[in-house]
Amino acid sequence: MHRLVLNRDIYTEILQQEIPAAQRYLWLVTADIKDLHVERRKKFIPFLAILNQLVENGVHVRLFHAKEPGPRFRKDFDRYPALVDSGLFERLLCPRVHMKCFIIDGKKAFITSANLTGAGMGSKSQHRRNFEAGIFTDESETIEPLMEFVDDLYLGRHCTKCGRRDVCPDPIA
């Protein structure tokens, strides 16, 4: 299955349904990340609360992004002990990351133009959110090479020859 997901449906289908359903691991790759909130039981909570709950449930979460998030994200981040203390949560920075994809349990992937922000994910109002598109898939011929590519980034296989090492805040290798 390859399915196109647009605008607000990114929020309702991917952010509210698919990501919280991860069972083993969740890889999130984005250029930008902000203090995103998600509706749960008729109130809005930080997306970080969902990640924290996943980690507490034993899901390994890997968050890969290009730059340090803003102060509201950092303040929220510190409120979630599983994200700070657990070995099941890893956050990595690479200034060259511009792609956006989410890999859920190695069985589903969402490849998108949207950053992990309220405007990108469609959680903002109709007139304030970005116009975004993505492909949601469960086809292994797409997911496996994507996972290999993300894993190479995660393991720092591109670090030694990177032309941006001088601006990298924390080289992986």
Separation between Cα atoms, residue 103 and residue 123, nearest integer Å: 20
Instruction: Answer positive or negative: Cα dihedral of 10, 71, 62, 96.
Output: positive
Q: Which two tokens stand for residue 111?
A: 């490849």
Please report the pLDDT score of residue 41 as a whole number. Answer: 84
Tell me: the pLDDT tens digits for 71-97? 888 888 999 999 999 999 999 999 899
Closest C-alpha among 154, 149, 133 to residue 6: 133
pLDDT of residue 30: 96
- Given pLDDT bands bounded at 50, 70 and 90, which one contains residue 162? confident
Sign for the CA dihedral angle at 5, 17, 150, 122 comes to positive
57-94: b (≥16 Cβ within 10 Å) or e: eebbbbbbbbeebeeebeebbeebebbeebebbeeebb
Terminal-to-terminal C-alpha distance of the chain: 36
Give the integer Cα–Cα distance in Å for 138 and 108. Answer: 4
- Nearest C-alpha neighbor of 59 from the set 29, 82, 41, 75: 82
Higher per-residue pLDDT: 73 or 144: 144
What per-residue confidence (pLDDT) applies to 124?
A: 65
Reported as a single tens digit per residue, the pLDDT across 52-68 is 999 999 999 999 999 88
Q: pLDDT (tens digit, 9 = 90+) per residue, 101-129?
A: 999 999 999 999 998 987 788 766 677 77
**Edge-first strand listing for the sheet containing 133-137:** 2-6, 133-137, 108-112, 100-104, 25-30, 60-65, 89-93
User: If one looks up domain 2-167 in CATH, what number appears?
Assistant: 3.30.870.10
Between 68 and 148, the higher pLDDT residue: 148
Whether 33 contacts 115, CB under 8 Å: yes
pLDDT in tens, 8-60: 999 999 999 999 999 999 999 999 998 899 988 889 899 999 999 999 999 99
Q: What is the pLDDT of residue 170?
A: 76
Domain ranges of the chain: 2-167
Residue 3 has pLDDT above 90, yes or no: yes
Mean pLDDT for 133-143 is: 97
User: What single letter denotes the amino acid at residue 33?
Assistant: I
Distance between CA atoms of residues 97 and 64, nearest Å: 8
